[in-house]
Amino acid sequence: MTFHYRYLIISLTFIFLFSVSASAQEYSVHKEHSEAFGIKDNLPSEFDEKGAGIIPLQYDKSKMTGTIIYGYLPDWEYPSTRQYLRYDILTHIAAFDFTVSNTGAITNPSGWPWTDVINTAHANGVKVTLCAVNFEASDINTIMTNSTVKQTFFNNLKNRIQQYQLDGVNIDFEGLNQSDRGTVLNTFMADLKTFINTHFPGMEVSFAGPAITTNGWNVAGLANACDFIFIMGYAFYGSWSTTTGACAPLTGGTYNITNTVLTQYATVTNSNPQKLVLGVPYYGLRWTTQTQNPHSPVIAYINSTRFRDDALLVQQYGLLWATDNQVPWYRYQSGNTWYQVWYDDDSSLGLKYALAQSKNYAGVGMWALGYDGSRNELWDELYRRFYQQIPVELQSFTAVPEGFVVILKWITATELNNKEFIIERKSNSDNEMNSGWKVAGNITGRGTTTAPNDYVYFDAVTEPGEYTYRLKQIDLDGSHKYSQEINVTVSDSRSGIVLEQNYPNPFNNTTRIKYYLQDQGKESPNGVVTLKVFDVLGREVARLVDGTVATGVHQIDFSAVGLPSGFYSYELRTGKERIVRKMNVLR
């Protein structure tokens, strides 16, 4: 198997300790961009306004790939950037925005319906969802708590979905009263999901959630109330900031994307990560600054930038890398004034995607489609991370015979989208007619992980001879690659049992012991087995197994709680056969 490496070679020598302002918790970049870029007077559609000619979704690509790639498409980016959308990569397009009033009425985006985008998306298995938007706390409270307004809103959603063949609803309500962020919101979302699924069985209902969830949010309840939460993983810095910094820092400071994933959304990340989609920014931030140094005190906030512009300007001014936040930035001087722009590129976004993958999130998304213009870097990174075959990094693969059992072990350094390993065996003693690879068994992979993982498989063969083994590693998308082949010789020396070395070893409190009991014949398919642990004086301190055990592979966790540090032995015995190994308890 081969590896895929990616190196970031630019770094800063300046590390500035900082913290994200609490203002970031309440700030809406969606609202800022609507006011800065939005179309004041909606333009008419190029197509039939009633939706004639719109085709339904032809298939669901997200179910086929097991991944969500969710992009918000704001109406100010339509139609100018529609030709750059990558339907081969996206699984969802959220049409932004369908503004919801405090009466439950809905206003369509400019140029709606976007029949060309909808039809191309549907032909490629990409869902188009209605993004319902309101940024005013009092309006949102009325929509969620006034039964008449709520029902009007629900009915208007149903009518829009039917009329335009839409595939789901995303609720982007921001700036909620603190008292509305818990039970009120979660009840509203549960009611909406029930209503939508009653009329459109299986249709997705999602919510745009904040990166920082203190002050009233119940994200576990919110996740239960909808199909998934799109985490708006940005706006950590902005117009309120007194120093420059990343709009989406991966690390550094009190609040960052890693904190969002591991702390703010911990209950969902740990128990139901498929309910989460990590959103990332395709925009940047520009300030005038007091110095040229990173995290400089701010003179004034200028504006929000878009990746398509930053990617050009950074070539002129030079890319710098903030090692604390793990994002790029650049600076330039006009007269005596310094300017700094902090943004994200394919390198920094790739690190965030890897974090989401390592936690088995449902997928990732972006604010906003079109901000990259005609450039391909960000699309290429998404493709590489989520679609391109990236093999598992295999550190070692060995085979050791124990009688008629071959113990296969392998270690992976990293895994990405690893569904399973198929263990294949070929007997080199077979005649030509029967030669060839046969499936010996399979072991489930660890999905996506950057931590090393150990695997072991016991393969029982029926005859002595020469055998060759290989691993067939299968990705979640069904693609596969083979490991190198290894050979092993099985002698005619039968052994009824195999005892594996415990793992981990040394250990603190708990370790796992694996053993294998071979079939002793049709008249005695099972065996009486004991597995005991002894201290250095030979005294029995634990009896883990004592009785009849079926043939095959077994494992048991041994707890050393209450035992002092030191060396111990464990003995597996069946009939006249006995195997002893040592283990080390280390406090």
Instruction: Provide the pLDDT confidence category of residue 436 given band limits of 50, 70 and 90.
Output: confident
The conformation of residue 200, written as its DSSP 8-state character, comes to S
Query: What number does CATH give the domain 22-386?
Result: 3.20.20.80
Q: Alpha carbon 299 to chain centroid distance?
A: 38
pLDDT at position 17 is: 36
Q: Kindly state the average pLDDT of the residues 306-325.
A: 97
% of the chain with per-residue pLDDT over 70: 91
pLDDT at position 16 is: 36
Distances (CA, A) of 526 to 59, 406, 570: 50, 20, 21
Q: Kindly state the average pLDDT of the residues 455-459.
A: 89
In the three-class reduction of DSSP (H, G, I as helix; E, B as strand; rest coil), residue 548 is classed as strand
For residues 70 and 522, which has the higher predicted lDDT (pLDDT)?
Answer: 70
Q: How far apart are alpha carbons 57 and 39 in whole angstroms? A: 28
Q: Is the pLDDT of residue 1 over 80?
A: no
- Which value, in Å, is the radius of gyration of the alpha carbons in the chain? 29
For residues 399 and 575, which has the higher predicted lDDT (pLDDT)?
Answer: 399
Instruction: Provide the pLDDT confidence category of residue 66 given band limits of 50, 70 and 90.
Output: confident
Instruction: Provide the pLDDT confidence category of residue 94 given band limits of 50, 70 and 90.
Output: very high
Task: Quick: pLDDT tens for 255-302.
Answer: 999 999 999 999 999 999 999 999 999 999 999 999 999 999 999 999
**Beta bridge partners of residue 328, listed in sequence order:** 321
For residues 511 and 450, which has the higher predicted lDDT (pLDDT)?
Answer: 511
Task: Quick: pLDDT tens for 533-544.
Answer: 999 888 999 999
CA nearest to 331, candidates 291, 301, 299? 291
Residues 6+ apart with CB under 8 A from 11: 321, 323
Q: How far apart are alpha carbons 400 and 519 in whole angstroms? A: 19
Q: How far apart are alpha carbons 516 and 246 in whole angstroms? A: 54
pLDDT at position 93 is: 98
Note whether 88 and 64 are within 8 A (CB).
Answer: no
Residues 6+ apart with CB under 8 A from 87: 120, 121, 123, 124, 126
Q: Which CATH number fits domain 495-587: 2.60.40.10, 3.40.1280.10, 3.40.50.720, 2.60.40.1930?
A: 2.60.40.1930
Domains 389-494 and 495-587 share a fold: yes
- The CATH topology of domain 389-494 is Immunoglobulin-like (2.60.40)
Full DSSP string of 235-301: -SSSTT-SB---SS-SSSSSS-HHHIIIIITHHHHHH-GGGEEEEEESEEEEEEESSSSTTPBEEEE
Instruction: Provide the pLDDT confidence category of residue 503 given band limits of 50, 70 and 90.
Output: confident
Q: Is the pLDDT of residue 115 over 70?
A: yes
The conformation of residue 179, written as its DSSP 8-state character, comes to G
Instruction: For residue 410, give the amino acid letter.
Output: W
Range from 112-116, 118-122, 515-519 carrying the lowest mean pLDDT: 515-519
For residues 227 and 454, which has the higher predicted lDDT (pLDDT)?
Answer: 227
Q: Is the pLDDT of residue 72 over 80?
A: yes
pLDDT at position 233 is: 98
Task: Quick: pLDDT tens for 131-182.
Answer: 999 999 999 999 999 999 999 999 999 999 999 999 999 999 999 999 999 9
pLDDT at position 25 is: 52
% of the chain with per-residue pLDDT over 90: 69
Task: Quick: pLDDT tens for 4-50.
Answer: 333 333 333 333 334 444 445 578 999 999 999 999 889 999 999 99
Residue with tokens 């809103």: 153
Q: Kindly state the average pLDDT of the residues 66-92.
A: 96
> Where are the chain's structural domains?
22-386, 389-494, 495-587
CA nearest to 364, candidates 374, 373, 354? 354
Burial profile 338-368: b = 16 or more Cβ within 10 angstroms, e = fewer: bbbbbbbbbbbbbbbbbbbbbbebbbbbbbb
Q: How far apart are the first and last CA of the chain?
A: 38
